[in-house]
Protein backbone atom coordinates (compact mmCIF):
# COMPACT_ATOMS: atom_id res chain seq x y z
CA UNK A 1 0.00 0.00 0.00
CA UNK A 2 1.06 3.55 -0.77
CA UNK A 3 0.33 6.25 1.80
CA UNK A 4 -0.95 9.73 0.95
CA UNK A 5 0.25 11.97 3.79
CA UNK A 6 -2.33 14.06 5.69
CA UNK A 7 -3.44 17.18 3.76
CA UNK A 8 -1.66 16.14 0.55
CA UNK A 9 -2.45 14.63 -2.83
CA UNK A 10 -1.04 12.45 -5.58
CA UNK A 11 -1.63 11.42 -9.20
CA UNK A 12 -0.94 8.16 -11.03
CA UNK A 13 -1.95 6.04 -14.01
CA UNK A 14 -4.56 3.29 -13.68
CA UNK A 15 -4.79 1.06 -16.78
CA UNK A 16 -8.05 -0.41 -18.03
CA UNK A 17 -8.92 -3.54 -16.04
CA UNK A 18 -6.77 -2.61 -13.04
CA UNK A 19 -8.35 -2.25 -9.61
CA UNK A 20 -7.59 0.45 -7.08
CA UNK A 21 -8.23 -0.25 -3.40
CA UNK A 22 -8.55 2.88 -1.26
CA UNK A 23 -8.18 2.31 2.48
CA UNK A 24 -9.03 4.59 5.42
CA UNK A 25 -6.31 3.33 7.80
CA UNK A 26 -7.47 5.12 10.96
CA UNK A 27 -11.14 5.81 10.18
CA UNK A 28 -13.14 9.00 9.56
CA UNK A 29 -10.96 10.35 6.75
CA UNK A 30 -11.99 11.51 3.28
CA UNK A 31 -10.19 11.12 -0.06
CA UNK A 32 -11.16 13.42 -2.94
CA UNK A 33 -10.92 11.35 -6.12
CA UNK A 34 -10.91 12.49 -9.77
CA UNK A 35 -10.31 10.51 -12.97
CA UNK A 36 -9.43 11.52 -16.53
CA UNK A 37 -9.26 9.53 -19.77
CA UNK A 38 -5.50 9.06 -20.14
CA UNK A 39 -5.74 9.40 -23.94
CA UNK A 40 -7.91 12.54 -23.94
CA UNK A 41 -7.76 14.49 -20.70
CA UNK A 42 -10.89 16.46 -21.62
CA UNK A 43 -12.94 13.37 -20.77
CA UNK A 44 -13.46 13.42 -16.99
CA UNK A 45 -15.72 11.90 -14.34
CA UNK A 46 -19.08 13.68 -14.14
CA UNK A 47 -21.33 13.62 -11.10
CA UNK A 48 -24.32 14.76 -13.17
CA UNK A 49 -23.93 12.02 -15.80
CA UNK A 50 -23.36 9.47 -13.04
CA UNK A 51 -26.57 10.49 -11.22
CA UNK A 52 -28.42 10.34 -14.57
CA UNK A 53 -27.40 6.81 -15.43
CA UNK A 54 -27.14 5.27 -11.96
CA UNK A 55 -30.40 6.95 -10.83
CA UNK A 56 -29.05 7.52 -7.32
CA UNK A 57 -26.71 9.79 -5.41
CA UNK A 58 -25.80 6.95 -3.01
CA UNK A 59 -23.10 5.22 -5.00
CA UNK A 60 -21.73 1.90 -3.78
CA UNK A 61 -20.83 -1.59 -4.97
CA UNK A 62 -22.25 -2.26 -8.44
CA UNK A 63 -22.52 1.41 -9.40
CA UNK A 64 -20.36 2.98 -12.09
CA UNK A 65 -18.87 6.47 -12.38
CA UNK A 66 -19.59 7.98 -15.80
CA UNK A 67 -17.74 10.55 -17.87
CA UNK A 68 -18.90 13.89 -19.25
CA UNK A 69 -19.15 11.99 -22.57
CA UNK A 70 -21.59 9.42 -21.18
CA UNK A 71 -19.14 6.55 -21.02
CA UNK A 72 -18.56 4.45 -17.88
CA UNK A 73 -15.06 5.08 -16.53
CA UNK A 74 -15.02 3.20 -13.22
CA UNK A 75 -16.98 0.45 -11.51
CA UNK A 76 -17.23 0.13 -7.73
CA UNK A 77 -16.49 -3.55 -7.10
CA UNK A 78 -16.16 -3.59 -3.29
CA UNK A 79 -17.27 -1.14 -0.62
CA UNK A 80 -17.22 -1.74 3.13
CA UNK A 81 -18.63 1.73 3.95
CA UNK A 82 -21.43 2.54 1.49
CA UNK A 83 -21.37 6.27 2.20
CA UNK A 84 -19.53 8.60 -0.19
CA UNK A 85 -20.25 12.02 -1.65
CA UNK A 86 -20.37 13.12 -5.29
CA UNK A 87 -22.13 16.46 -4.75
CA UNK A 88 -19.42 18.74 -3.35
CA UNK A 89 -16.32 20.22 -4.94
CA UNK A 90 -12.81 19.76 -3.54
CA UNK A 91 -11.99 21.98 -0.56
CA UNK A 92 -9.85 24.98 -1.57
CA UNK A 93 -8.35 28.22 -0.28
CA UNK A 94 -11.67 29.93 -0.99
CA UNK A 95 -13.75 27.34 0.86
CA UNK A 96 -11.40 27.55 3.84
CA UNK A 97 -11.92 31.33 3.95
CA UNK A 98 -15.69 30.87 3.65
CA UNK A 99 -16.26 28.08 6.18
CA UNK A 100 -13.37 28.60 8.60
CA UNK A 101 -12.68 32.36 8.68
CA UNK A 102 -10.89 32.13 12.05
CA UNK A 103 -8.61 29.25 11.16
CA UNK A 104 -5.48 28.97 9.00
CA UNK A 105 -6.12 28.83 5.26
CA UNK A 106 -4.88 25.78 3.35
CA UNK A 107 -4.71 25.18 -0.40
CA UNK A 108 -6.93 22.18 0.24
CA UNK A 109 -7.71 19.24 -1.99
CA UNK A 110 -8.15 21.57 -4.97
CA UNK A 111 -4.62 22.92 -4.62
CA UNK A 112 -3.22 19.47 -3.92
CA UNK A 113 -4.98 17.94 -6.93
CA UNK A 114 -3.89 20.78 -9.23
CA UNK A 115 -0.26 20.37 -8.13
CA UNK A 116 -0.32 16.58 -8.44
CA UNK A 117 -2.02 16.65 -11.86
CA UNK A 118 0.03 19.53 -13.33
CA UNK A 119 2.52 17.09 -14.97
CA UNK A 120 -0.48 15.67 -16.89
CA UNK A 121 -1.41 19.11 -18.23
CA UNK A 122 -4.32 19.60 -15.80
CA UNK A 123 -5.01 23.02 -14.28
CA UNK A 124 -7.36 23.87 -11.40
CA UNK A 125 -10.03 24.91 -13.91
CA UNK A 126 -10.02 21.40 -15.38
CA UNK A 127 -10.76 19.66 -12.07
CA UNK A 128 -14.39 18.48 -11.84
CA UNK A 129 -16.56 17.79 -8.84
CA UNK A 130 -14.66 15.04 -7.05
CA UNK A 131 -15.97 11.65 -6.02
CA UNK A 132 -15.37 12.19 -2.30
CA UNK A 133 -14.58 8.74 -0.98
CA UNK A 134 -15.85 8.15 2.59
CA UNK A 135 -17.27 11.71 2.78
CA UNK A 136 -20.56 11.80 4.70
CA UNK A 137 -22.98 14.38 3.27
CA UNK A 138 -26.54 13.53 4.28
CA UNK A 139 -29.29 15.22 2.25
CA UNK A 140 -32.52 16.18 4.00
CA UNK A 141 -35.27 14.70 1.88
CA UNK A 142 -37.77 17.51 2.50
CA UNK A 143 -35.69 20.68 2.49
CA UNK A 144 -32.77 19.44 0.41
CA UNK A 145 -30.40 20.87 2.99
CA UNK A 146 -26.89 19.42 3.01
CA UNK A 147 -24.71 18.76 6.03
CA UNK A 148 -21.09 17.61 6.22
CA UNK A 149 -20.69 15.10 9.04
CA UNK A 150 -17.73 12.95 10.07
CA UNK A 151 -17.36 9.86 7.87
CA UNK A 152 -18.87 6.62 9.11
CA UNK A 153 -15.74 4.74 7.97
CA UNK A 154 -13.84 2.80 10.63
CA UNK A 155 -10.14 1.95 10.67
CA UNK A 156 -9.37 -0.42 7.81
CA UNK A 157 -12.51 0.26 5.80
CA UNK A 158 -12.05 0.39 2.04
CA UNK A 159 -13.55 0.82 -1.40
CA UNK A 160 -12.26 -0.90 -4.53
CA UNK A 161 -12.65 0.65 -7.97
CA UNK A 162 -12.04 -1.02 -11.35
CA UNK A 163 -10.87 1.09 -14.28
CA UNK A 164 -13.04 0.63 -17.38
CA UNK A 165 -10.63 2.64 -19.56
CA UNK A 166 -7.02 3.84 -19.24
CA UNK A 167 -7.14 6.54 -16.57
CA UNK A 168 -5.14 9.27 -14.91
CA UNK A 169 -6.20 9.41 -11.26
CA UNK A 170 -5.88 12.28 -8.79
CA UNK A 171 -6.43 11.52 -5.09
CA UNK A 172 -6.00 13.30 -1.77
CA UNK A 173 -6.08 12.88 1.97
CA UNK A 174 -8.60 15.64 2.62
CA UNK A 175 -7.52 18.88 4.27
CA UNK A 176 -10.88 20.30 5.39
CA UNK A 177 -11.82 20.46 9.06
CA UNK A 178 -15.44 19.34 8.71
CA UNK A 179 -15.07 16.45 6.29
CA UNK A 180 -13.04 14.33 8.72
CA UNK A 181 -14.30 15.50 12.11
CA UNK A 182 -11.43 17.97 12.57
CA UNK A 183 -8.55 15.53 12.37
CA UNK A 184 -6.14 15.11 9.49
CA UNK A 185 -5.11 11.59 8.68
CA UNK A 186 -3.47 9.74 5.79
CA UNK A 187 -5.15 7.64 3.12
CA UNK A 188 -3.64 4.45 1.68
CA UNK A 189 -4.12 2.81 -1.69
CA UNK A 190 -2.96 -0.18 -3.65
CA UNK A 191 -3.26 -1.16 -7.32
CA UNK A 192 -3.80 -4.62 -8.78
CA UNK A 193 -2.87 -4.68 -12.46
CA UNK A 194 -5.04 -6.80 -14.80
Binding site for Zn ion (CB under 5 A): 91, 109, 174-176
Cα separation, 43 vs 26, in Å, equals 33
Please report how close the Cβ of residue 191 comes to Zn ion at its closest, in angstroms: 22
Q: 50 or 175, CB closer to Zn ion?
A: 175
Helix, strand or coil, per DSSP, at residue 164:
coil
Map residue 94 onto helix, strand or coil: helix
Q: Within a 10 A sphere around the Cβ of 37, how many other Cβ atoms?
A: 19
Nearer to Zn ion, 108 or 160 (CB): 108
- Compare residues 52 and 99 and give the one whose CB is closer to Zn ion: 99
Alpha carbon 21 to chain centroid, angstroms: 13
| End-to-end alpha carbon distance in the chain | 17
CB of 116 to Zn ion, least distance (A): 13
Closest CB to Zn ion among residues 107, 162: 107
Cβ at position 106, least distance to Zn ion in Å:
9
How many alpha carbons fall within 13 Å on the CB side of residue 3?
6
CB of 173 to Zn ion, least distance (A): 8
**Contact indicator for 174, 31 with CB cutoff of 8 Å:** yes
Amino acid sequence: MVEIAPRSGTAFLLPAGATLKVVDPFGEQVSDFVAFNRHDMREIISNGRTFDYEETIRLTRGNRLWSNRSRPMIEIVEDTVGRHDFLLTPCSEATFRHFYPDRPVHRGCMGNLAAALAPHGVTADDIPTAFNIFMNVPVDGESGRLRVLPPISKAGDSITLRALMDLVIGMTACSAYDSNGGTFKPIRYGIDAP
